[in-house]
Amino acid sequence: MYGYAGRILHVDLTTGKTRVEPLNEEYAKKYIGGIGLGMRLWVDYSKAGVDPFSPENPLVLTTGPTSGTIWPTGGNGHAFVAKSPQTYGVAEAKSHGSFGTELKRAGYDGVIFHGRAEKPVYVWIDDDSVQILDASHLWGRSPAETEDVIKEELGDYYIRVAAIGPAGEKLVRIACIMNEKSRAAGRCGLGAVMGSKNLKAVAVRGTKDVAVAKPDEFLEFVKEFHERMKGPATKKYRTLGTPENVLVHNALHCMPTRNYNNAHFEAAEKVSGEYLNERFVAKIIGCSSCAMRCEHVCVVNEGPYKGAMARVEYEPLWAMGPYCGVDRLDAIIKGSELCNYYGIDSISAGVIVGFAMDCFENGILTVKDMDGIEARFGNHEAMVKLIEKIGKREGIGNILAEGVRLAAEKIGKGAEKLAQHIKGLEVTGYDLRCLKTAALGFAVSFRGADHNRHGAYAFDVKGKFNRLTYEKGRAKYVKDIEDVYTVIDSLIICKFSRGTYYKEFEDLAKVYTLVTGWETTPEEMRLKGERINNLARVINVREGLSRKDDTLPWKVMNVPIPDEGPSKGAYVRKEELELMLDDYYEVRGWTRDGIPTPEKLKALGMDDLIPIVEARIRKA
Amino acid sequence: MVKIHERRFVSVDPEKCVGCQICEYICAWTKEKAFNPLKSRIRVVRLNPLVNVSITCRLCEDPPCVAACPRDALTQSEENGTILVDEDKCNGCGWCIEACDYGAIMLHPDKKVVFVCDLCKDKPDGPQCVKWCPEEALDLVTADVLAQKARITATKKLFQEVLKAAPSA
């Protein structure tokens, strides 16, 4: 096998036993790797209705066929898959850096962590040797500290580590899994799943070669992509970075502000990408094998947050900034640093704080409830303190650590209306009231509210469609881009490089063919993407999700945008959402309840999963 | 023996290096036909996100690695100053590794002998890491040119206001 290592490692944390089995070649061909292969393996090793924190919820870690090669951005990815403690559907999250390359060189396409260790442990994968080691001395430490201690005690400074922080240990539902200090498999709460297994970290060293099928042509193609990456398709990421979005979104009035009370932030200039780069960006660094570099490392040099350092991207900046009404970048960098320290998803963290502030402003939560914090919108100190409390599950943080959906249920008093989430996952920085193609993408996303499952906002922001209305026929575009995105996340390449695939599936198929040696047409590549989206949907169907869960946050459907300007009055009406869903399910070939039909699964070569949908269709 | 002033080696500009490891990948591919940074003669160090450099042999005058070898397995090339390894004599004892201040000479992961940058002597277009570095952070330079470049960089920083006002000056 080329590209693939050809092996899957099973680690049973309950018994302490490990075993290696060959990678199922049919799975590799059908589901590629990354999230596709990860979700397929997860289905095989889990039962319907499993509790996310049960030992029976396996945590799957995968690499992709390009991991460990020099493919630009593709060399370095890894993905985690399990059942989400936020959405109770399928959770997947990718991260980049160098961890994925190391795991591939150690000789694994995937690792499945089963069961639960009796005491805190970490798993040390040194090529063929796999050991489960005591982690009691690491418990309570941040991912970065954990990485340093492990390198020191194993005596190898080139070991790569993926670890959870104190939040994952305490089952904070937005906990992430971090590698190399600033990179995170962030969304869906996979860090809490890892914590529920008493698994603190995975340390890897790999020394084996990674072979590709057609190295000479492959390198030619790499060279071509290096050139493309110097061009306009990646300029944004290499210059201002994703924080460039702040002023773009603000001008369109599509930047959710103060927990969706506004769609425009009057102080946007002060939290803009321009301001960030001028004042705070100390260095832009890159991941292994990437020819772009995007990681804007920011440092605070003065003031109350002096010394704070973190990578900053648009989403966390938006969440801890405009979404909380906070107009100080130094506080946002501090907030990001704390998220990295405790190991929590910095998007969800900011959205939860915005939610708490809204509850406070509306009298649903009092100063006493807030442990004495005056949690008004715009109070940067309150934002920073609340993030810390969530990370520690301390005081009000213990409730907020449940995520907005469950926290609102506990708080009551109408807090549900202020909880902006889809399927339990907190929203991201696109006001769905006035970005209607994006609204559909978000509503049907299999991992809950997320821009990274479809990127459909681009159609709205760039003006391909009238962003304020929705008409039948648009779902096809959402479906098509979803299918590209699942391929991207399965190969695994970086979404920041997506613009360099000028011919989309043709380019993706060529990479796959050159790496694996399996001749693959663009149409076959597209089918893989479609198959993986259907697989994810089947998992969610098995876990009880359906049309009723493909919905939008309360405010998106009930509170028109109040701000004078280009988006005033916009919101998504109930009938509009129904139209979107009908349109989408039809294009997908699913039932009106959003369940993939047996015929669809047969056409996609997933006959063995048909019983799952048949049972549900009969019920419906 | 090539004079120290004429000896060219691969040098990194830490301001430009982003730690992407493409030099490692292309080196290992060029020399060993393997995608495996462990087989690279140039290695990246990231101390923290802000500090990134890639390091390879600097072709020292009176190289300590050569002096340290108890088996006379290492010599310095008369032609360009690179360190030549006699793989029949080398037994991987590691004295040269200890002697090198830069960690530029390493034990090969498969062959159990040491390996070190040879400036891609078989490549007409020179060191491939320099050619492939997407940030143009690597350069093949003499110590003299390195000093010149450092002076120019320092001067540019000192007089950035003047240069901004009159870019063509």
Residue-wise pLDDT tens digits, A243-253: 999 999 999 99
Q: Which amino acid is at A528?
A: K
Are A285 and B52 an interchain contact pair (Cβ–Cβ within 8 Å)? yes
Q: Is residue B101 one of the residues assigned to a domain?
A: yes
Residue A316 lies in a domain: yes
On whether residue A212 sits in a domain, the answer given is: no
Based on the domain organization, do A415 and A442 belong to the same domain? Answer: no
User: Final residue of a domain: which of A190, A205, A220?
Assistant: A205
Tokens matching residue A484 = 């590209």
* Lowest mean per-residue pLDDT among A165-179, A558-572, B4-18: B4-18
Q: Are residues A474 and A539 in the same domain?
A: yes
Closest by Cβ to A297, choosing from B21, B36, B49: B49
In a domain, B156, yes or no: no
> Is residue A225 domain-resident?
no
Clarify whether residues A384 and A504 are in a common domain. no
CA-closest candidate to residue A429, choices A585, A605, A559, A248: A248
> Would B19 be classed as within a structural domain?
yes
Distance CA(A174)–CA(A196), nearest Å, equals 13
Which of B33, B38, B48 faces A207 most closely, judged by CB atoms? B38
Q: Which of A205, A226, A257 is the last residue of a domain?
A: A205
Model confidence at B168, pLDDT cuts 50, 70, 90, reads low
Here the ipTM equals 0.92
Mean pLDDT of A126-136: 98
Q: Which of A403, A426, A449 is the last residue of a domain?
A: A426
pLDDT at position B167: 66
Nearest CA-CA distance, residue A70 and chain B, Å: 6
Interface contact B21-A289, CB threshold 8 A: yes
For residue A293, give the CATH number of its domain.
1.10.569.10
Q: How much of chain A, in percent, has pLDDT values that exceed 90?
A: 98
Q: Do A68 and B39 touch (CB under 8 A)?
A: no
Average pLDDT over residues A576-595: 98
Query: What's A573's domain CATH number?
Result: 1.10.599.10
Name the residue range of residue B15's domain.
Answer: 4-142
A63 touches chain B (CB under 8 A): no
State the pLDDT confidence band at A159, using cuts at 50, 70 and 90: very high
Q: Is A311 on the interface with B (CB under 8 A)?
A: yes
User: Could you tell me if residue B99 is inside a domain?
Assistant: yes
CA angle A246, A252, A257 (to 5 degrees): 55
The number of C-beta contacts closer than 8 angstroms across A and B is: 76
**Least confident segment among A245-249, A410-414, A479-483, B48-52:** B48-52
My answer on whether A103 and A240 are in the same domain is: no
The pLDDT, as a whole number, for residue A381 is: 98
- Is residue A418 located within the same domain as residue A454? no
A58 three-class SS: coil
**pLDDT, tens digit, 9 for 90 and up, residues A49-67:** 999 999 999 999 999 999 9
Write down the pLDDT at residue B2.
Answer: 87
Query: What is the number of structural domains in chain B?
Result: 1
Mark whether A451 and A385 lie in a shared domain.
Answer: no
A417/A451 same-domain check: no
Q: Does B27 fall in a domain?
A: yes
Instruction: Return mean pLDDT, chain A.
Output: 97
pLDDT of the residue at B162: 85
Task: Quickly state the pLDDT bin for B90 (edges 50, 70, 90).
Answer: very high
Is the per-residue pLDDT at B166 higher than 80?
A: no
**How do residues A175-200 score in pLDDT, each as one tens digit?**
999 999 999 999 999 999 999 999 99
- Counting the structural domains of chain A, the total is 3
CATH code at B45? 3.30.70.20
Name every residue in B having a CB less than 8 A away from some CB of A. 18-22, 25-26, 29, 33-39, 46, 48-50, 52, 109, 132, 134-135
Contacts of A164 (CB under 8 A, 6+ apart): A143, A175, A176, A177, A178, A191, A194, A195, A199, A200, A201, A343
Please give the average per-residue pLDDT across A563-580, as a whole number.
Answer: 98
Whether A219 maps to a domain, the answer reads no
| Domain assignment of residue B135, yes or no | yes
CB contact under 8 A, A209 and B18: no
Domain membership of residue A210 (yes or no) is no
Q: Does residue A452 share a domain with residue A399?
A: no
Report yes or no on A578 lying in a domain.
yes
Domain of residue A109 covers: 7-205
Strands (E), A58-170: 59-62, 78-83, 90-95, 110-114, 121-126, 129-134, 160-163
Q: CA of B92, closest CA in chain A: separation in Å?
A: 18
A144 reaches B (C-beta below 8 A): no
Distance CA A12, CA A14 (A): 5
Identify which of B36, B16, B14 has the alpha carbon closest to the alpha carbon of residue B27.
Answer: B36
CB contact under 8 A, B49 and A182: yes
The CA–CA distances, whole Å, from A449 to A91, A432, A438, A446, B126 equal 12, 10, 10, 9, 50
User: Nearest C-alpha of chain B: how many angstroms from A158?
Assistant: 9
What's the pLDDT tens digit per position in B93-110? Answer: 999 999 999 999 999 999
Together in a domain, A332 and A287: yes
Query: What is the nearest CA distance from B51 to chain A, expressed in angstroms?
Result: 9
Q: What is the CATH number of the domain that holds A29?
A: 3.60.9.10
Whole-number Å distance between alpha carbons of A92 and A81: 4
Residue B159 lies in a domain: no
pLDDT of residue B169: 55
Write the CA distances from B27 to A172, A514, B77, B127, integer angstroms. Answer: 43, 20, 20, 8
- Interchain contact, A70 vs B134, CB within 8 Å: no
Q: What is the pLDDT of residue B29?
A: 97
Residue B23 covered by a domain: yes
Mean pLDDT of A267-283: 97
